[in-house]
Structure 1
């Protein structure tokens, strides 16, 4: 299959739609399952999912708390929320909020649990977001935050190739994704925000990803990288694919890729 065929294959949706279609099954959902298990949600609890994206964590939380509970999802991106709404069955009641995590339009002490999966690294004022998470929790309420990193070799390869073949600015996104993994930094931020009983742990997570060319374009079309790559032209896309896929062969096992990434999970109480 040529680069043009792979690049253009089945990517007619928006980045948010592609994120739900491609990123969530391979990465978002397995990580969400781990977060929900760690959170130990109980029936009847009120849960807020911050930076909820297309709602994979939100829906899993709703399943755990049941009809007696209440779940809300908050995200600044209207495209992500539109997909979240469309993918949530009508019998799962979720309140969706289009708002910044740094200034939530929510009352004090409205939730028992706050979740945030792979979103804190994208928030400009992390301290403000953490203080808002604490504000909306009841006394003794729990917060659970996951962030990925450090940058694994697979993504270091993609970052360098993006800088070389597409645009040095496009490579910044790969740095940002894995910019919040330091356990001490995260613990200090949470202490400064007023949380107590803080526990931060880093564990590796192994995921199975599609074959190199498929995953490369699925990932790009699911992220803000899509626009820059689309504007680069076919010759540069060809070069990007050749470079990345040649180096990604080292991760291929039986036609798919084995991806090992660190996941840092922080838990605390108000």
Structure 2
């Protein structure tokens, strides 16, 4: 993993929340929220909350008495999330590293994490931390992206950037968001951390955006892919965005864009 893969700062958090969340994250946030609500937790911990896509979805379906702690490694992301839900006193926002959680043992009924596990340098260690803070029989609910080939517009954007920078193609999307999809490896990592009753399923959805330009801004400017582009040529961020938009437009037309997205959803018991 590159040193910039986990950096969501500058203008990225706002663009991430405005563009990327509705395009690809919201539908999976609603799925996680349903799964979490079915567990009827009284105390819930969210890891890698980002700008609060899951936090908002879960808060909408849980009763008032629930205590909800939402964490992220990146303070700028949490700031956006906290501003969006400033009036919900059930939620405590806290900067935290998923590899070293600042909580005691057996504090939470459920731990959840949307599209964050791919960013952990040592996943077994991170999963061990999540198991440690779960109550006996508590549940860890999370998801990860499937192969980039099963996520249409992201694959098309990555290919377009590869043509623009043929000598050093940006590989953030392949390397990190779509780099942890082997179900056997995921199961093994969880078992090594002590989890049991592991359920792993593939969930296919449709990504929707109003235009090709919207997709290009979401991916090129609302993720750490931006840092990769600027590292190659800081003056070409807009050109890269335009190239991706043209590639998406060529494939999907000049109107609204729809494309297959696919994730892996996992539930495991302590």
TM-score band, normalised by the shorter chain?
0.7 to 0.9
TM-score when normalising by structure 2: 0.86
- Does residue 1:126 correspond to 2:119, yes or no? no
Q: How does 1:107-186 map to 2 (within 5 A)?
A: 107-151=104-148, 152-166=151-165, 171-175=170-174, 176-186=176-186
Q: SS of 1:160's equivalent?
A: helix
Q: SS of 2:60's equivalent?
A: helix
Deviations 1:193-243 (A, max 9, x none): 101100111121112123212210232221112244456366674366346
Distance 1:41 1:214 in 2: 34
Cα deviation, residue 46, structure 1 = 1.0
TM-score when normalising by structure 1: 0.86
Q: Which residue of 2 aligns with 1:245?
A: 246
Cα deviation, residue 25, structure 1 = 1.6
Cα contact 2:118–2:179 (8 A) shared by 1? yes
Cα contact 2:173–2:225 (8 A) shared by 1? no
**Cα pair distance change 1:172/1:230, threshold 3 Å:** closer
Q: SS of 2:83's equivalent?
A: helix
Cα deviation, residue 123, structure 1 = 1.4
Cα deviation, residue 95, structure 1 = 1.3
Size of the aligned set, in residue pairs, is 257
- The correspondence for 1:49, drawn from 36, 46, 51, is 46
- Does residue 1:217 correspond to 2:207, yes or no? no
Distance 1:267 1:236 in 2: 39
Cα deviation, residue 172, structure 1 = 2.0
Distance 1:15 1:126 in 2: 25
Distance 2:240 2:96 in 1: 39
Distance 2:128 2:215 in 1: 36
Cα deviation, residue 35, structure 1 = 1.3
Distance 1:43 1:149 in 2: 28
- The correspondence for 1:28, drawn from 25, 28, 42, is 25
- The correspondence for 1:84, drawn from 81, 85, 91, is 81
Cα deviation, residue 165, structure 1 = 2.0
Cα RMSD, aligned residues only: 2.3
**Cα pair distance change 1:125/1:132, threshold 3 Å:** same
Q: Which residue of 2 aligns with 1:106?
A: 103
Distance 2:13 2:240 in 1: 26
**Cα pair distance change 1:219/1:141, threshold 3 Å:** same
